């Protein structure tokens, strides 16, 4: 039985990857952070009682900023595969906390690689680094592929650039099986609530149910290549099963705007939107309501406005990946389209919004609006 260690197991990708590896028969170890509230929502459905005999999912307290903790865990667990998914993963937040982001997203990777080497496991333990399309930032070539030059545009991306190269360096210096998946944006109903897709699907579902009046957005003309997290974690595993380690771009090869994603989400709720105004004055008004999923919305309501606080000091305007290498060498093709994913996310957020509304209608407190 293979043993995997996942940093970031409580995150979107970590939760799907843990499910995937358990199905493959792995013993899965995950690092979770100590928090004052429970933070295992995304993996509670696969949680195993640690008192049960021989659990296949084991959680350990830890943090990517803590060298001794990481080294001890790797020494104890002796993983065959380490998936480094843990990160301060929000680009906008990285401008607020640049040093912390550098420490966790940059140095954290070095700490893991160095622990593996220091423990003499560099020939037995394979390493996956969660690299990102944000490395391309101010794009130098379209579509972006493995050979496209990087131009990071945020403290997050600069920290991830360090991680990308230190992973390559340990591969070349010590013969480690270490590789980068350069993943373009991928989403799901488990996406964090402050990333743009989830903010839209959750916000519009709440508006549809009368729980929030209006959604405030930043740069809605940004273009992204969106895939489904389930498709992308499969590829993370595939990258560690080859004869030789290589880096791969993982993307769909299709690009849409944030505005497109807003329109699709609204349409899933039976809401037709009309955009008017320009720049920070732009608004979206309800032009028609064609289903009973949005009982709280009326024609003429303004349900989306622009708020400059959601613009970043340096924007990444456009990203489009070329997944040809992944297709040719690994036979990987994404199964779920961006529109299908959007429909799944809206459906899940509508269920949550209806539940919240039911509670509110029966006099119970529900808190749905959060800064995003």
Q: Is the dihedral of CA 195, 212, 15, 188 positive or negative?
A: negative
Tokens representing 320?
């489009």
Would you call 156 a catalytic residue per the annotation? yes
Site for ligand GDR in 170-199 (CB under 6 A): 184-185, 194-196, 199
CA distances from 299 to 251, 258, 281, 286, 346 (A): 37, 22, 20, 5, 20
Q: Is 104 in the site for ligand NDP (CB under 6 A)?
A: yes
- The contact pattern for ligand NDP, residues 155-194, with x = CB under 6 A and - = no contact, is ----------------------------x-xx-----x--
CA distances from 33 to 46, 69, 113 (A): 18, 12, 20
Q: Which of 39, 290, 366, 369 binds ligand NDP (CB under 6 A)?
A: 39
Would you call 114 a catalytic residue per the annotation? no
Q: Is 132 in the site for ligand NDP (CB under 6 A)?
A: yes
Residue 295 has phi, psi (to 5 degrees) of: -65, -20
| Cβ closest to ligand NDP, residue 14 vs residue 189 | 14
Q: Which does 222 bind (CB under 5 to 8 A by kind): ligand NDP, ligand GDR, none?
A: ligand GDR
Q: Is 255 in the site for ligand NDP (CB under 6 A)?
A: no
CA distances from 26 to 58, 235, 292 (A): 11, 16, 45
Q: Is 33 in the site for ligand NDP (CB under 6 A)?
A: yes
The minimum distance between CB 319 and ligand NDP, in angstroms, equals: 10
Contact between residue 335 and residue 235 where contact means Cβ atoms under 8 Å apart: no
| Cβ closest to ligand GDR, residue 79 vs residue 152 | 152
Tokens representing 122?
């560099």
**Alpha-carbon dihedral of residues 177, 178, 184, 187, nearest 10 degrees?**
80
Of the ranges 82-90, 110-118, 209-217, 284-292, which one interacts with ligand NDP (CB under 6 A)?
82-90
Determine how β-strand 302-306 pairs with β-strand 215-217. Answer: parallel
CA distance 184 to 179: 16
Place of tokens 């105004």: 277
Q: Which of 19, 81, 122, 134 is catalytic?
A: 134
Beta carbons within 10 angstroms of residue 267's beta carbon? 17
Q: Is 5 in the site for ligand GDR (CB under 6 A)?
A: no
Q: Which of 13, 134, 247, 344 binds ligand GDR (CB under 6 A)?
A: 134
| Cβ closest to ligand GDR, residue 132 vs residue 209 | 132
- Does residue 177 sit in helix, strand or coil? coil
Q: Is 15 in the site for ligand GDR (CB under 6 A)?
A: no
Distance of CA 279 to the CA centre of its chain: 28
Of the ranges 88-96, 110-118, 140-148, 238-246, which one interacts with ligand GDR (CB under 6 A)?
88-96
Would you call 132 a catalytic residue per the annotation? yes
Q: Is 133 in the site for ligand GDR (CB under 6 A)?
A: yes
Contact between residue 293 and residue 270 where contact means Cβ atoms under 8 Å apart: yes
Tokens representing 38?
């429970």
Residues that bind ligand NDP (CB under 6 A): 7-8, 10-14, 31, 33, 35, 39, 63-65, 85-89, 104, 130, 132, 183, 185-186, 192
Residues that bind ligand GDR (CB under 6 A): 89, 91-92, 132-134, 184-185, 194-196, 199, 217-220, 222, 224, 258, 310, 312, 315-316
Active-site positions read 132, 134, 156
């Amino acid at each position: 039985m293979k043993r995997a260690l996942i940093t970031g197991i409580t995150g979107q990708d970590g939760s799907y990857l843990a499910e995937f590896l358990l199905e493959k028969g792995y013993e899965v170890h995950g690092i979770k952070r100590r928090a004052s509230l429970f933070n295992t929502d995304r993996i509670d459905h696969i949680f195993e009682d640690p008192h049960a005999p021989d659990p296949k999912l084991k959680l350990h307290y830890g943090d990517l900023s803590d060298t001794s903790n990481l080294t001890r865990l790797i020494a104890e667990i002796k993983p065959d595969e380490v998936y480094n998914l843990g990160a301060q993963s929000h680009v906008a937040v990285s401008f607020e906390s640049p040093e912390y982001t550098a420490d966790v997203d940059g140095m954290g990777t070095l700490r893991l690689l160095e622990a593996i080497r220091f423990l003499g496991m560099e020939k037995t333990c394979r390493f996956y680094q969660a690299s990102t399309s944000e490395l391309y930032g101010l794009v130098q070539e379209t579509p972006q592929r493995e050979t496209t030059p990087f131009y990071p545009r945020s403290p997050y991306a600069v920290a991830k650039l360090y991680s990308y190269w230190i992973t390559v360096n340990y591969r070349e210096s010590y013969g480690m099986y270490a590789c980068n998946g350069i993943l373009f944006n991928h989403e799901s109903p488990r996406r964090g609530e402050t990333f743009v897709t989830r903010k839209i699907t959750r916000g519009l579902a709440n508006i549809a149910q009368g729980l929030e009046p209006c959604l405030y957005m930043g740069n809605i003309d940004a273009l992204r290549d969106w895939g489904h997290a389930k498709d992308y974690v499969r590829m993370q595993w595939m990258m560690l099963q080859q004869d030789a380690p290589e880096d791969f771009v993982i993307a769909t090869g299709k690009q849409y705007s944030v505005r497109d994603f807003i329109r699709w989400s609204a349409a899933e709720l039976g809401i037709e939107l009309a955009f008017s105004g320009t720049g920070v004055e732009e608004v979206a008004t309800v032009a028609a309501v064609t289903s009973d999923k949005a009982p709280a919305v009326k024609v003429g309501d303004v349900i989306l406005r622009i708020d400059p606080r959601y613009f970043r000091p340096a924007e990444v305007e456009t990203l489009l990946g070329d997944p040809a290498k992944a297709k040719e060498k690994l036979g990987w093709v994404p199964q779920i389209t961006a529109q299908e994913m959007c429909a799944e996310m809206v459906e899940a957020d509508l269920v949550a919004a209806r539940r919240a509304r039911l509670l509110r209608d029966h006099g119970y407190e529900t808190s749905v609006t959060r800064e995003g």
